[in-house]
Structure 1
């Protein structure tokens, strides 16, 4: 066996080893990962919020009676929804959250901030009955400092938050949900943290409001394989009553925490003064970051008092990489011409819970995208959860970060000013993420004036005035082609612009804006034939992203996950995965484009082969195979051996689908089961060959009668944290005696649970019992705040002598690495969480509907495909 084959087999072994290795990725808070004994304390503030939809009078007051309100944990959605609930069926309006808490006695003389990663729409915060903050927009962080309002260690407090996800044209995105291609799911849908620091501390960049300043900003003066020049800007604020002499100590560590370099600077700070201190570290022979080798160094920052005490600090993860867009010469990474950047766009919603996803699910999303070969993600159409950005750094996914907005412009100057604030805030939040390749600072698919386009570009470079700052937008939008570093366009645009060209959204093939019928959108529930059609249509679109031109650098699929939309009654079904992240055939088509010899530390790689055929009575005569090998051998019924080379063009997708014509006929196949034991011969065996050697294989058998249920946990190796908000999908499959999934099964699965967990959703939203679709039924299991075992039991809703037998699965939750700060324990509904599920009838009149859809038609005509 030659060395290439050995390497491929070793890579495959690593892939399987990684899959079961129990990964627990780190989560950053306000831009920092933990640094032991730094002086900064972070508490999980998610647990124990009292919640009520609507706007009861006096809900901000201390003496308001909230005893009958539900007790929930954030991230939280204001209404659980069916998995397919597009067309403005979600609740829009006010909703209140109230949290009673006691400030830890150990935080004496500390500054105490409540940090919200995001809340949807318009948010008003009250502290002990007093209004202290109002925030507009649903996608960026904000915080309140308790100390400035007289709160001290040991105090009992009430924080009341009014959220409102109603349409509002005064702040971005601004567009009504009824004409929107996504959904304004409501609530405090991201994490909330209590952060305690010394009065002398690293500042919050958005509060400090210094262009390219505040907080920690790591940027680079030079990067090559021989040397990296790393600049670390640290902004320190003195809110103590005295002038102070301090030291800023910065250590560069490798991925394992070994210290490589240390620099320190002495600083004198007057009372109330802030200073930004610049430090530089030279690292010889660095390990460079790339999508296939996403190596992350660690920058440890400490503020040290004159007596040697650590006052504040944190860890920033950085990757060292050099990105260059050289126009007609293409995209260069680390002084080498890069492969095409192919990936997808991402909306952040999930089945049932809308946008209220835990950090673990954001990580799993990124992991699944990377496994599918996505090397770039464009966030659509807003900054996304910090944990998703952390995951992209770690997994090797480039990101295009977009400011909130889609197909809407308000001529009121205040609207533009709010967009400019969003641009600054998103850059300050995400500027240290290695994954950020480009900024999209304009409003997507929107007719805006030239002044706005130029100002957005200017602000981006004010906030990031160093190497590696690139703006991207539609080439035909005002001022973009003349000023932006990269333009959105199509392969046909090569030669028309001086910049590199990237397709922001490829794959769509709709008939018209109103119907949205298309062969690239297939609900997983529709079964085998639609999924084959979708996969082959997306393969055609994928193929168009591979051109001979270096100037055309790649594109992002619209859209890898099914998601809800405001303006259409159908969800977007064009995903490689459904809303639960269950794969469709097209997922394997994408995955097959990853070269077999690629080695990646976290992603599933190596030789692969997949049969997109179920051997059912309704299956196609043709058998479609997705593989990253050179040749496919298909063995039919154990006797007929068919072989095809993968027809690779000089330019085009790396590994086109292989289609064996006229292989299958049900009427011929059914002769086998009539002979004793001959039904066992009805198999397709597909073997992938490289250099004439078999390096992978898969077997597909037809499913016979439904005899049992099977359960598996879709956790990508991550354990569930016992923090009251973490959840994980558990997948129930209907199988025959041998474990072959019965894709044509039509059952309802009833789930029950024991131990430290609860089931999200009940019968009103079709969550429990759940109807089997294409052989499976998912359920979402959420942890309690107590670590322990969870046992999930699944059975068919109506049992009988020949009904499929039930199944059980057990797993354990683990303690969170954060202290939970709460007084009220969340309500746990073990088996049918019906809370917040009531339908809200909000119908448009025919005149209103026509007006709304006319607006959509106009916008889609201007910017659509």
Structure 2
């Protein structure tokens, strides 16, 4: 059997057995005090004023990453708590275990430096015994200096995600017998398990690790490894005796064989348990014990045929995941981490790319239990520093990542250097840049060599952005065992067919290199909808079309071993703007884990159980213009997601028709009526059903229609999308040109920034508002806006924003297109606004109220008389008049 094709199966985090093994593990998450800033503070100053009570996990960046102020705090934060050590622990070895502190930590115990760590995404362990007081009732002071400052020696240096600061994962105190498994091995549990050979008939298990004797006495120790099945029955056992001198660290390497193992797979993630136990041979006392889950399976990647698990082909389909949540930053509970993996499983996914850094151990543990294959990667993202310190820290982080995640049956890939050539340093083609490129290649080789040495069984991967020639020239397609491409054709650039051409290019140029699509996705703002979506409009419908096109190509190409959606959920990216400022909205879930249609699309395509769901039920308030006819109705498309052969849709109890889903989607043209509309969908056999209630607002074709009285209207100028504002429960319609008896604009043109990738509007963060889609689009040069409303009294709100700005913005760094920001041609804009012949805004100027990039609105009351309706006139003084949005509501 080819060892390269076999999977090592193991789990890192040891499960303690305190009643027997005398190992005690306690969380230290409660009753911390926190002090932000004050980089000059010393441990002796810990009693200074300005401390607040907090609970760990904690980050100091929950608010400043979401506000309109550019940037967020990257600096120092201090944490302290009182630690009470039982007097009975004085004969134990005591450690402090930190699962994650961003991104540099200095630990002080009772005012003395006890240890430090660089890297915000891997765990570290601090020996604490020598610094503690064991007197009854004595309070030990634990003080942590955390620092998430920009540091050219610590990866990551940049990335399309927020670098939160703080002690954002669990902290534990661990008390052990003086004889115990090695706690000083890069934050690992000191025991490492592999399965060098696995088949349905036979499996071998290798267990290696080390233990220490800090007792001060020579010990005769028994080391026992016991393999048990899920029911607790012993399957195999190995015992050996060691004679160990005081202060000695002892390495061990043991082997077992198992006949007819039950195999681990996504459909049946069967886990065994393997314990490692140290006992005193003379007294029989258990000194230390750790337990790790173990799964048996084998796998391989084939450049032509894809991925195989336990000898059977399996297309890997899943998502990547960032570790933050709306309003909480990255300070999540274990339950929240686990729930994300559950959501991936409920979507039908079988693969998780843990990116762009190692995450809470609860994530990979959940993958083991739920049957989600996984990759994990070190946080060398976008670029490197050329210093030796950076290389040393990158290699150390990589080693910590491997040792700490070694014993997980779900983990099949070690990855590093995501999109490391996206924004290279120095001038293109310069000698300095070529030297920089050589540093990148050299570091890649070192990371690869380290990985192969540590783990000769798992595969290695570099995820690249789609600059094929550059990565290929620098050998980054050749150094790792797998190549990953982050593909956004049809989003940042090009069209859907470009994606198919790109993967075929890879297969043609690198026919022996297995391929994964390590990223693909499109932003989707759940508030934006369109029946004619276009690239980069951020509508739910475009994102669904994008995923449909990609999945069809992925499934049709056997050489694509797997594909990973970017991302499971929307995540924080403080520098981003557009319709969801500070958020990358490519998730198939929102940042607070609400479902998008793309998630439903994958459920319809991946789930093996019957599935049916009406699309966009959260868009429960819709509007449109009545079509001509006796009965006021407005026909709009509705998508139904299902894996059933045939779908029947009813509206208010009446059957609209049947449709056969294509790629999991059936589309129906629904004639909505004014008011509540009950949609009922069912499979052809009636066994699978779903329903949704849509409140529809019919806008009359002629506003003075007595059978359908006019009530209100919200129009988003310069836009062809529907915008649903759930906060105010309002629906905004796309603009249209004025027609007699109706409403609309007269004159002008849609705002579009020159050389911008967006179809219309601005990609800036509109300040002072949550209605970014309204203020980011406008009609320039507008002459009038007319509404032939019936006589009555109305409130009118006009919305404005100056979309040009004297402040130059850098283009989005992570658009993967390499384009630079086009100049922003800002100039003075002044105009008057009259309503029904009377002055309203005289004048309005971007030198006064209309501050660039900031929302401004004005509301007034208007009387429509003598069947003349409402006419708003825009008169230029300097530059062109603009209008971003208008709201009209009849009072009486």
Q: Give the TM-score normalised by structure 2.
A: 0.68
Q: CA deviation at 1:434?
A: 1.1
CA gap of 1:238–1:442, structure 2 versus 1, over 3 A, is: farther
For 2:483, the equivalent position in structure 1 comes to 487
Larger Rg: 2
1:684 to 679, 686, 700: 679
1:639 to 651, 654, 679: 654
- Partner-residue secondary structure (3-state), 2:450: helix
The alignment's C-alpha RMSD in Å is 3.1
For 2:639, the equivalent position in structure 1 comes to 624
Alignment partner of 1:78 is 2:72: no
Native 8 Å contact 1:609 1:687 kept in 2 = no
More strand by share: 2
Native 8 Å contact 1:78 1:185 kept in 2 = yes
Q: CA deviation at 1:590?
A: 1.6
Q: CA deviation at 1:441?
A: 3.0
For 1:753, the equivalent position in structure 2 comes to none
1:665 to 656, 671, 683: 671
Moved more, 404-413 or 277-286: 277-286
CA gap of 1:857–1:555, structure 2 versus 1, over 3 A, is: closer
Q: How do 1:829-844 residues align onto structure 2 when only pairs under 5 Å count? A: none
Q: Distance in 2 between matches of 1:335 and 1:352?
A: 45
- Partner-residue secondary structure (3-state), 2:686: strand
Q: Distance in 2 between matches of 1:86 and 1:471?
A: 37
CA gap of 1:308–1:34, structure 2 versus 1, over 3 A, is: closer
Q: Distance in 2 between matches of 1:34 and 1:541?
A: 48
Q: Distance in 2 between matches of 1:352 and 1:248?
A: 48
CA gap of 1:745–1:471, structure 2 versus 1, over 3 A, is: closer
Point out where structure 2 has 5 or more consecutive residues left out of the alignment: 1-10, 422-436, 486-501, 532-538, 625-634, 698-722, 730-768, 774-804, 821-892
1:698 to 690, 702, 705: 690
1:375 to 329, 344, 350: 350
Native 8 Å contact 1:167 1:174 kept in 2 = yes
For 1:543, the equivalent position in structure 2 comes to 552
Q: Distance in 2 between matches of 1:330 and 1:253?
A: 33
CA gap of 1:33–1:399, structure 2 versus 1, over 3 A, is: farther
Point out where structure 1 has 5 or more consecutive residues left out of the alignment: 1-27, 508-519, 598-605, 648-654, 674-678, 706-741, 749-769, 775-844
- Partner-residue secondary structure (3-state), 1:861: coil
CA gap of 1:169–1:695, structure 2 versus 1, over 3 A, is: same
Native 8 Å contact 2:678 2:694 kept in 1 = yes
Q: Distance in 2 between matches of 1:561 and 1:72?
A: 27
Native 8 Å contact 2:61 2:73 kept in 1 = yes
Alignment partner of 1:432 is 2:407: yes
Q: Distance in 1 between matches of 2:184 and 2:509?
A: 39
Residues 555-574 of structure 1: CA deviation (Å, up to 9, x unaligned): 11111211111432321112
Residues 733-788 of structure 1: CA deviation (Å, up to 9, x unaligned): xxxxxxxxx9865459xxxxxxxxxxxxxxxxxxxxx99999xxxxxxxxxxxxxx
Q: CA deviation at 1:56?
A: 6.7
Alignment partner of 1:588 is 2:603: no
Native 8 Å contact 1:83 1:579 kept in 2 = no
For 2:714, the equivalent position in structure 1 comes to none
- Partner-residue secondary structure (3-state), 1:55: coil
Q: CA deviation at 1:130?
A: 1.3
For 1:501, the equivalent position in structure 2 comes to 515
Alignment partner of 1:134 is 2:112: no
Q: Distance in 2 between matches of 1:214 and 1:102?
A: 25
Q: Distance in 2 between matches of 1:695 and 1:594?
A: 19
For 1:317, the equivalent position in structure 2 comes to 293
For 2:21, the equivalent position in structure 1 comes to 38
Q: CA deviation at 1:148?
A: 3.2
CA gap of 1:94–1:846, structure 2 versus 1, over 3 A, is: farther
Q: CA deviation at 1:74?
A: 0.7
For 1:567, the equivalent position in structure 2 comes to 575
CA gap of 1:617–1:129, structure 2 versus 1, over 3 A, is: closer
Alignment partner of 1:191 is 2:204: no
Q: CA deviation at 1:70?
A: 1.2
For 2:106, the equivalent position in structure 1 comes to 124
Q: CA deviation at 1:480?
A: 3.4
Q: Distance in 1 between matches of 2:622 and 2:344?
A: 33
2:524 to 508, 522, 525: 522
Q: Distance in 1 between matches of 2:771 and 2:255?
A: 58
Alignment partner of 1:468 is 2:458: yes
Alignment partner of 1:349 is 2:320: no
Q: CA deviation at 1:449?
A: 3.0
For 2:700, the equivalent position in structure 1 comes to none
Q: CA deviation at 1:267?
A: 1.2
Alignment partner of 1:334 is 2:322: no
Q: Distance in 1 between matches of 2:819 and 2:519?
A: 15
For 1:820, the equivalent position in structure 2 comes to none
Q: CA deviation at 1:45?
A: 0.9
Native 8 Å contact 2:275 2:289 kept in 1 = yes
- Partner-residue secondary structure (3-state), 1:357: coil
- Partner-residue secondary structure (3-state), 1:37: helix
Q: Distance in 1 between matches of 2:135 and 2:268?
A: 45
Native 8 Å contact 1:31 1:429 kept in 2 = no
For 1:830, the equivalent position in structure 2 comes to none
Native 8 Å contact 2:349 2:606 kept in 1 = no
2:367 to 380, 392, 398: 392
Q: Distance in 1 between matches of 2:196 and 2:133?
A: 43
Q: Give the TM-score normalised by structure 1.
A: 0.70
CA gap of 1:240–1:40, structure 2 versus 1, over 3 A, is: same
Native 8 Å contact 2:384 2:440 kept in 1 = no
What is the total number of aligned residue pairs between the two structures? 651
Q: Distance in 2 between matches of 1:129 and 1:394?
A: 42
Native 8 Å contact 1:35 1:300 kept in 2 = no
For 2:823, the equivalent position in structure 1 comes to none
Native 8 Å contact 2:380 2:416 kept in 1 = no
Q: Which protein has greater RCO, CA pairs closer than 8 Å, 6+ apart? A: 1
Native 8 Å contact 2:125 2:184 kept in 1 = no
CA gap of 1:168–1:859, structure 2 versus 1, over 3 A, is: farther
CA gap of 1:35–1:441, structure 2 versus 1, over 3 A, is: farther
Q: CA deviation at 1:79?
A: 3.6
Native 8 Å contact 1:40 1:314 kept in 2 = no
Q: Distance in 2 between matches of 1:744 and 1:855?
A: 26
Native 8 Å contact 2:483 2:516 kept in 1 = yes
Q: CA deviation at 1:412?
A: 1.0
Native 8 Å contact 2:66 2:574 kept in 1 = no
For 2:614, the equivalent position in structure 1 comes to 610
For 1:156, the equivalent position in structure 2 comes to 139
Native 8 Å contact 2:368 2:409 kept in 1 = yes
Q: Distance in 2 between matches of 1:745 and 1:442?
A: 40
Q: CA deviation at 1:469?
A: 4.2
Native 8 Å contact 1:611 1:686 kept in 2 = no
CA gap of 1:36–1:86, structure 2 versus 1, over 3 A, is: farther
For 2:813, the equivalent position in structure 1 comes to 856
- Partner-residue secondary structure (3-state), 1:480: coil
CA gap of 1:860–1:34, structure 2 versus 1, over 3 A, is: farther
Q: Distance in 2 between matches of 1:576 and 1:646?
A: 20
For 1:823, the equivalent position in structure 2 comes to none
Native 8 Å contact 1:86 1:568 kept in 2 = no
Q: CA deviation at 1:366?
A: 0.8
Native 8 Å contact 2:105 2:116 kept in 1 = yes
CA gap of 1:99–1:35, structure 2 versus 1, over 3 A, is: closer
Native 8 Å contact 2:105 2:144 kept in 1 = yes
